[in-house]
Amino acid sequence: MTEARISPNAFWGPLDPSADAGYDDDRPKRKGFFTDTSICIGCKACEVACKEWNDVPSDHFDMTGTSYDNSHSLNANQWRHVAFIEQPVRPKQTVDLGMPGRAPAYVPGLPATGADPDPVGAGAPAPIDTSDLLGSMLAEAPGSDGGSASADSMDFRWLMSSDVCKHCTHAACLDVCPTGSLMRSEFGTVVVQDDICNGCGYCVAACPYGVIERRRGPDGHKNVGIAQKCTLCYDRLTAGQTPACAQSCPTQSIQFGDVEELRERAEARVAKLHEAGVMDARLYGNDPNDGVGGTGAFFLLLDEPEVYGFPPDPVVTTKDLPEMARKAATAAGVLLLGAAVSFLGRKP
């Protein structure tokens, strides 16, 4: 590791984080995760593997009563979290093409096809045969007055996403750490050194994603009171191994590798989904020009980031430090000048 150099984009913009931290040119390529949520099945194998390998306590698995997700969120004891986003959705409306055998028993204003036009009585509509698919849809469709569909017409969908520390290009947690416990590794990841952390909690407030947290328990477990988060299995990387979560993923929803190669793979995947008509597919965290300079762990989502609990436009919280320093220096200079004028202008 050579002497650290200050990059023009030290606080903002695209850069190679490990090079910015002073690693030599023979450093390994930046490593990260690409999580394709379109093929996540919510098995939570990644959570189990993470806990097993990193000796993360297994606690707080209570059901909330509002979701099948029993691990709730990322925290000091949950370095991987498979979020279940359970949403009511309306079934897509179809168009009646007038195909034989698919017409409803009765359509207002028209006689029933191939039947008595008024089987019940003069002017009375025939009952809709709800055993017929199209008839059922018409029974649940919005009324002619433009009103909404009934609650019975609502369907349900699950979005699943394995969330983790983003290993930001510009990591505010690392910037504010007063002890140097948080460090940038040669792989471009952000790692907590447990034996140096003093538990001040500055990093907790600095993280724009709410990932890092101080461990509060269980009593007797190691590292209680100090900051904890995903290390991207730093010990496994140094041994040339794949992180435990990616290794255990049965659908390859979590993909590990060189960040630049993963970005290309992610863009190709989005293009393929768009060709298949999944136009809501989008990437999150892959843009080096976003508010944190891009992330080492990024995602393919099937809805807006807010739906998954992600901030839509995250910004590194230390971005304004240089400007704040300049303003503080200006204010100090003005005060010093005022004091000097006051001293020189006083009467003998």
The annotation places the binding site at: 40, 43, 46, 50, 165, 168, 173, 177, 197, 200, 203, 207, 230, 233, 245, 249
User: How far is it, in rounded angstroms, from Cα 281 to Cα 270?
Assistant: 6
Kindly state the tokens that stand for 252. Answer: 């390859």
Q: Give CA torsion, residues 263, 267, 272, 277, to 10 deg.
A: 130
Give Cα 269 distance to the centre of its chain: 17
CB atoms within 10 A of CB 67: 13
Tokens of 307: 């739906």
Annotated binding site for [4Fe-4S] cluster: 40, 43, 46, 50, 165, 168, 173, 177, 197, 200, 203, 207, 230, 233, 245, 249
Burial class from Cβ neighbours inside 10 Å (0-12, 13-18, 19+) for residue 132 reads: middle
Residue 260's CB is within 10 A of a number of other CB atoms, namely 12
CA distance 274 to 278: 5
Best CA proximity match to 28, nearest among 236, 192, 238: 238
Nearest to 314 by CA among 161, 159, 166: 166
